[in-house]
Structure 1
């Protein structure tokens, strides 16, 4: 695989999805403060089920999931599955292949996770919202790359790779936080069954099974077991992704040889009249074309195939739907001054200042120590501007906020609303400021990549 091509394709996909995400967020905000707000909020509380006799797949401890829980626990598991695929690809052939190559974004990401959390904890010391300390540690890859895309080819590819890899490492940090701090009432029995399914998935990968249905069905079983085990089900998506084979069944050289042989031996049937205008193929011709089709399926690894298949589903359906369901902030009862107090302030400061300080000064330190070089065609000013974009938390920040306060009753709902305000405002200001700084500091001509 051409790793640079894969990175450019991912950047393009995420940037396009970022535009849809912005529209979904604005719609949620408008509807939540409109006359149909009650219908909007009541819809997410409706129960949902996939019933097979007495068994409901979408149930948790015997209770059916609501639409909101289905989005946050089921659809977002697919989102985290795609993140797991991306992490595995980056480790095998991408920017995380070499420690030296990946060291700058890794160190920057760690600084960009630690400092916001410390700032949040300092502002919230002695409060009842410290449970949400991990909220400002995330970077939304779709939103941040969407801002970069607005500047076109003026942005060096090295900065795009830096931000993309940083966001992937951020996702790893978020996954670990969810697994460690947002799991409760662990059921060993369900985990034991899940371990057995993981073994089957691993053996299937070793045996060269490249059927997407095989991994989809068993992955669904693992998701259900995690849902009822006490470990957040999105973690199942990541772990299942790590079991997906990255090696194609058919090597590229063998595939090319097969195609050449089939084309060379393609039956040239004799037709009456103009054979090119015939709409019917002979049985031998059909068999030949099916052989080529089968070889084409086998030369693409399940990991690449699933990643390409899921990108449009994730970027244009799941993430916008998640934003539409979770970004509805009711302004009545919330004063703008509350942004400067409590959890709203802690999240806002963590995203806008914490992410910038953590990312930029971690990068500055490791570059100044000459452990790693400055990204190609970049300057300290452009690196600082990209560090500001790291404060666009949004998707994973909203997700962690829901995990932190979603099940705490009326008090939790109030904290969640104020946390959302901090997330939206912190991400918005980070995006606008980052764009202004990049537009100011980047060269006016297009960057030659």
Structure 2
């Protein structure tokens, strides 16, 4: 998402303001709705559960609908979902943290200074960022904050840059290869010279920024390996006759927050941002389509399960929260899909 905000569809501040405003509204309204409906006491700690959107599942449903959903709306939902994922991680780090250890947190701040120095020095090798990122993760974990915050902070400092001029790079590569070809059989026996290989390596590195390179290499492993393991490990719940006994308000609070609060907060905040001139809504999608995306944002699943695990130390409460999150995600996904399937883009009207 950092790439979209720096060199992509959301590089313009008014374009970026719409999903940011939507994400903020989509966090505040569900949390308030949960607090209004949940019982007082320990269960009130779960106000962070309906705040998060499961980016992978929400975007997957949009992708499955193909051309019925404009690319601009996909970018909007992805950006809003990731912004409120970041917000949810910050909530976990601040409000669900263990005892804080200032020494380790100071060391984490020191690693951020090093990351900022690498970024400002235009260091485009990925390895230094990874190594320092591991240290950052360890310091934040030992400091008492939730270590997922390290991923967000690390991503802020991994460099992005505008796409290269492919024509210029092709001319440079052709010139290097033509010069090497003048050596005839020597090149065939030993390969290109070391200076030529270094120059070609530089051209190859220029094709991708470190952020793009990490996304290409780690994205598939995250989506198809890490995420499914997380979902399977955390979604299971043992059903019994008394599992919901006395916990109806908890179920209602979570489901209302995700199914109703999410789209309501997202749509209202988007309208306010556009009407006040803070943000621009692309003409490629209608308000009805935006409402369908807002409904899909109610798919909490992985992040909501994650927060529920932090908020509810009781196994019984956590089990009920899982049931409510799964039911709400199913409802939100169904409602959003129906709205988007039947909505027309402004260009089709």
Structure 2 CA distance for partners of 1:284 and 1:211, relative to 1, 3 Å: same
1:440 alignment counterpart: 342
Structure 2 CA distance for partners of 1:139 and 1:204, relative to 1, 3 Å: same
Q: Which runs of 5+ in 2 are unaligned?
A: none
Higher alpha-carbon deviation: 233-242 or 423-432: 233-242
Q: What's the offset of the Cα at 1:440?
A: 2.0
Tell me, yes or no, if the aligned pair for 1:116 and 1:355 is still in contact at 8 Å.
yes
* Residues 122-169 of structure 1 deviation map (CA, whole Å, 9 limit, x = unaligned): 111424211110110111111111111221111122221221221122
Q: What's the offset of the Cα at 1:251?
A: 8.2
2:60 is the counterpart of 1:146: yes
TM-score when scaled to structure 2? Answer: 0.88
Q: Taking CA–CA contacts closer than 8 Å with sequence separation of 6 or more, which of the two structures ends up with the larger relative contact order?
A: 2
RMSD: 2.9
2-structure distance, mates of 1:174, 1:188 = 23
Match for residue 154 of structure 2 among 230, 240, 246:
240
Tell me, yes or no, if the aligned pair for 1:344 and 1:418 is still in contact at 8 Å.
yes
Match for residue 364 of structure 1 among 271, 275, 280:
271
- Structure 1 segment 76-225 matched on structure 2, within 5 A: 86=1, 88-225=2-139
Q: What's the offset of the Cα at 1:268?
A: 5.0
SS at match of 1:281: helix
2:255 alignment counterpart: 348
TM-score when scaled to structure 1? Answer: 0.70
How many residue pairs get aligned? The number is 346
SS at match of 2:123: coil
2-structure distance, mates of 1:121, 1:109 = 19
Tell me, yes or no, if the aligned pair for 1:367 and 1:373 is still in contact at 8 Å.
yes
Match for residue 326 of structure 1 among 229, 234, 255:
234
Structure 2 CA distance for partners of 1:213 and 1:372, relative to 1, 3 Å: closer
Structure 2 CA distance for partners of 1:182 and 1:281, relative to 1, 3 Å: farther
Tell me, yes or no, if the aligned pair for 2:237 and 2:319 is still in contact at 8 Å.
yes
1-structure distance, mates of 2:12, 2:183 = 53
1-structure distance, mates of 2:165, 2:289 = 42
* Residues 56-93 of structure 1 deviation map (CA, whole Å, 9 limit, x = unaligned): xxxxxxxxxxxxxxxxxxxxxxxxxxxxxx3x323322
Q: What's the offset of the Cα at 1:382?
A: 2.2
* Residues 210-250 of structure 1 deviation map (CA, whole Å, 9 limit, x = unaligned): 332222222111211111111111111211222222249x9
1:427 alignment counterpart: 329
Higher alpha-carbon deviation: 225-234 or 281-290: 281-290
Tell me, yes or no, if the aligned pair for 2:180 and 2:193 is still in contact at 8 Å.
no
Tell me, yes or no, if the aligned pair for 1:391 and 1:427 is still in contact at 8 Å.
yes
2:301 is the counterpart of 1:394: yes
Match for residue 282 of structure 1 among 179, 189, 214:
189
Match for residue 230 of structure 1 among 144, 163, 174:
144
Q: What's the offset of the Cα at 1:185?
A: 1.5
2-structure distance, mates of 1:243, 1:380 = 35
Structure 2 CA distance for partners of 1:190 and 1:439, relative to 1, 3 Å: same
Tell me, yes or no, if the aligned pair for 2:62 and 2:69 is still in contact at 8 Å.
yes
* Residues 333-370 of structure 1 deviation map (CA, whole Å, 9 limit, x = unaligned): 455x6698132221111100111211123333444556
Structure 2 CA distance for partners of 1:298 and 1:152, relative to 1, 3 Å: closer
1-structure distance, mates of 2:278, 2:159 = 34
Structure 2 CA distance for partners of 1:289 and 1:398, relative to 1, 3 Å: same
Q: Which runs of 5+ in 1 are unaligned?
A: 1-85, 272-279
Tell me, yes or no, if the aligned pair for 2:23 and 2:80 is still in contact at 8 Å.
yes
SS at match of 1:430: helix
